[in-house]
Amino acid sequence: QVQLVESGGGVVQPGKSLRLSCAAPRFAFSDYAMYWVRQAPGKGLEWVAFISYDGNNKFYADSVKGRFTISRDSSNATLFLHLNSLRAEDTALYYCARDFGRRYTTFYFGSWGQGTLVTVSS
Amino acid sequence: EIVLTQSPVTLSLSPGERATLSCRASQSISSFLAWYQQKPGQAPRLLIYDASSRATGIPSRFSGSGSGTDFTLTISSLVPVDFAVYYCQHRNTWPPLFTFGPGTKVDI
């Protein structure tokens, strides 16, 4: 069973920053592309960010471009999402997800963590 | 930008019945479509990828079909654990951009 464990969520004021982490200690982390996907309370799923297996390619949804940064630390098998200039509409459960394919990127979300909740409120 | 539309919004069925869920794309997306199941309080789970391939460990009662703009997820005979929300998802190969449909809730 793939284990992805997110952390770092919490309550933050608008305009502030937060860093989310996703620990992935039990699989060949460096072989997989990774993603962040979020879900606002009671709403559907929204892709947020993508990072290639080697970290050289990063892409973002238009709604977060310029404010969020995805990164990875392969030596510690950890994925990060830096959230800056937070807005109320960023309030959501943030999931990290692993690509379905190993060593080849399928661009499907094969395994998911349980999520970490970010609440942006004054 | 590709928009995915799912219908119906809610599907009320009983165990043993067949469920047919639809996902329509605003333009042709070939077979680049996946289906996910999400139960309350849980993360989504990949069921089907590339429109018709079952992911690892997914029961054979789940099947996907379609290409171009019209796609279907079929659950041949519902069991109680199948009552959940189902999302379709498109992936653009490059640049990687991803779109989810709004979901269909399958309930009793």
Contact A108 B46 (CB under 8 A): yes
pLDDT score at B93: 75
* pLDDT digit string, tens, across residues A56-89: 999 999 999 999 999 999 999 999 999 999 999 9
What amino acid occupies position B47?
Answer: L
Separation CA B36–CA B96 (nearest Å) = 19
Angstrom CA distances, A47 to A50, A61, B29, B49, B77, stand at: 8, 7, 18, 17, 31
Contact B46 A44 (CB under 8 A): no
Where chain A has pLDDT below 50, the residues are: none
pLDDT score at B92: 85
Contacts of residue B58 in chain A, CB cutoff 8 Å?
Answer: none
Q: Which of B12, B6, B3, B2 is nearest to B71 (CA)?
A: B6
pLDDT score at A20: 98
Contact A109 B44 (CB under 8 A): yes
Contact A95 B45 (CB under 8 A): no
Is B101 an 8 Å CB contact of chain A? yes
pLDDT tens for chain B, 108 residues long, are 899 999 999 999 999 999 999 999 999 999 999 999 999 999 999 999 999 999 999 999 999 999 999 999 999 999 999 999 999 999 887 888 899 999 999 998
Residue A110: which of B46, B96, B103 has the nearest Cβ? B46
Closest CA in chain A for residue B47 = A110
Contact B87 A45 (CB under 8 A): yes
